[in-house]
A and B are shown apart, each in its own frame.
Chain A
Amino acid sequence: MVKRILWLILMLAVFVQTAVADGKSDAGKVVRQTVDSCLDWLKEKDLSDDAKYDNIVTCITPVFDFALMGKLALGKKQWPRLDEAQRKEYTRLFIQQLQNSYARKIMLFSGETIEYEEPLQVKSKVHVGTSVVSTDGRNKILYKLYKSKTGWKVYDVEIKGVSIVSSYRAQYAEIMKTGTAETLLNRMKEKVNQDDEKKE
């Protein structure tokens, strides 16, 4: 009996180890494929900016866990201050805001090359480092992924050490310091409307 259990443990250990090892390269592949296909869309000369934007959003949506990013951005202290309906509204606005922002950033891209580093296992998460090499230097962009039920998903992006989630959190905290959940949602609505007007 004991022997059998020991065997089980051994098998489990092997399984866990390989699962982790595979995870690292899987996560790396996910990032590489996504970034590459975004860049391919940008290179399409016949497409309008709007069409490029839509294609980019479609290609990042399955890989980014926007809802989780929104939750993390609001943070442990603020999240309970929103009721169920407000949370839904918050998540919807956050996703729209983030997609607008990502698309704007990637539109700035012009002929830089991307270098991929070896993915790094950090506890149960994987960090995939990339460098954007431009004419006068290089900028680091780090993608942080976790294993969800449906595969590896991005939950934060760090640009030159600045985390997107943390940056949103700092601003939300500033608003929530004096305001309520409604104040925050109104500010977010304003922002999304502004972006939509600009696009038209």
Chain B
Amino acid sequence: MRDQSVEDSIVPVGTATRRTVATRFALLAMLLLLSMGLGCATVPERGCVAVAEDSAKDSADEDFDEFDDFDISEAPPPRDPLHVYNRFMFTCNDKAYTWVLRPVARVYRWVLPEPVRASVQKCANNLGFPVRFINSGLQGNFKGAGVELARFGINSTVGILGLFDPAASACDLQPADEDFGQTLGRYGVGPGWPLVLPLLGPTNIRDAFGMAPDYFLHPFSYIEPAETSLAVQGIEKENYLSLHMDEYEAIKEDAFDLYTFMRDAYRQKREAEIEE
């Protein structure tokens, strides 16, 4: 757009003489080169009208174009029709975390040394293989699925039932965190309304549905009786928390409005994961 306008403005200069034609050509070429090479992508894709309005309101601010020059999307806040329930559930979860989950994780951390907890986590992650493998495949990411298969093979054997992760440390095979919510996203299913689930935390309608197939793909779901299955999953969560103590606190201290922050962070994280 910018090139266009400059081009227009130099049209009257370019009369019939050869010299001006050449100058024009040179100018144009230089502009083109500059815009390609340096990628001065100040060309706003949309929101031109908004810029015009805003700068009319505020003409003193001469470097207003700056906003378009940086690739941070200025999407309006998402519709959140369930926000009354969501905020309530969010507060419940926060209390459950502060009064139960966190103190338990602290004791757990005190009892077990870090290498043991790290190995427990790796072992649990290794068992999540079917979820990542199937979803990588469903997303058409066969390379990712292959990496998962290789990781499972290596870590279950050389890594002694997944207690260690030689696939990552020795072979640089990194896990891909794929789940059914991402698979749906890949096929164009939108996130839907934001939703906060009891204990599971912030999510959205799509990802909440996605939890069902993943549940059936996870070996923990097949432990009998159901109480033991729940206990195993609970221990896994506490183990994870014990390795990531104070992270939630650090976020909490930063936020003005913790619910809005977590809702937006979840949205951004999922968008990044689906894009990968």
Cα-based distance from A8 to B114 in the complex (angstroms): 63
Q: Which residues of B contact A135 (CB under 8 A)?
A: 114-115, 118, 243
CB-CB nearest in chain A for B175:
A137
Residue pair A174, B72 in contact (C-beta under 8 Å): no
Most buried by A among B115, B175, B264: B264
Q: Chain B, interface size: which category?
A: 35 or more
Contact of A167 among B40, B66, B268 (CB under 8 A): B268
CB distance from B257 to the nearest CB of A (A): 5
Residue pair B74, A77 in contact (C-beta under 8 Å): yes
Contact of A5 among B22, B74, B118, B121 (CB under 8 A): B22
Residue pair B74, A75 in contact (C-beta under 8 Å): yes
Asked if A160 lies at the interface with its beta carbon under 8 angstroms from chain B, I say yes
Residue pair B33, A123 in contact (C-beta under 8 Å): no
Q: Which residues of B contact A167 (CB under 8 A)?
A: 261, 264-265, 268
Asked if A170 lies at the interface with its beta carbon under 8 angstroms from chain B, I say yes
Q: How many residues in A have their beta carbons less than 8 Å from beta carbons of B?
A: 55
Contact of A174 among B68, B260, B268, B269 (CB under 8 A): B260
Asked if B253 lies at the interface with its beta carbon under 8 angstroms from chain A, I say yes
Q: Which of A111-147 contact B (CB under 8 A)?
A: 122-125, 134-138, 144, 146
Q: Which residues of B contact A108 (CB under 8 A)?
A: 246-247, 250
Known: A2-B22, A108-B247. A80 touches B33 (CB 8 A): no
How many residue-residue contacts, CB under 8 A, span A and B?
142
Asked if A105 lies at the interface with its beta carbon under 8 angstroms from chain B, I say yes
Residue pair B50, A76 in contact (C-beta under 8 Å): yes
Contact of B67 among A76, A170, A188 (CB under 8 A): A76
Classify the interface of chain B: helix, strand, loop or mixed. helix
Residue pair A80, B246 in contact (C-beta under 8 Å): no
Q: Which residues of A contact B115 (CB under 8 A)?
A: 135
Cα-based distance from A197 to B39 in the complex (angstroms): 46
Contact flags A2-37 to B (C-beta < 8 A → 1, else 0): 100100110011001100100000000000000000
Contact of B122 among A75, A77, A136 (CB under 8 A): A136
Cα-based distance from A80 to B50 in the complex (angstroms): 12
Residue pair A9, B33 in contact (C-beta under 8 Å): yes
Residue pair B174, A171 in contact (C-beta under 8 Å): no
Among the stretches B51-59, B90-98, B221-229, the one at the interface with A is B51-59
The 9 closest A-B pairs by CB, nearest first: A161-B272, A123-B39, A170-B264, A135-B118, A16-B37, A136-B121, A80-B58, A76-B67, A5-B26
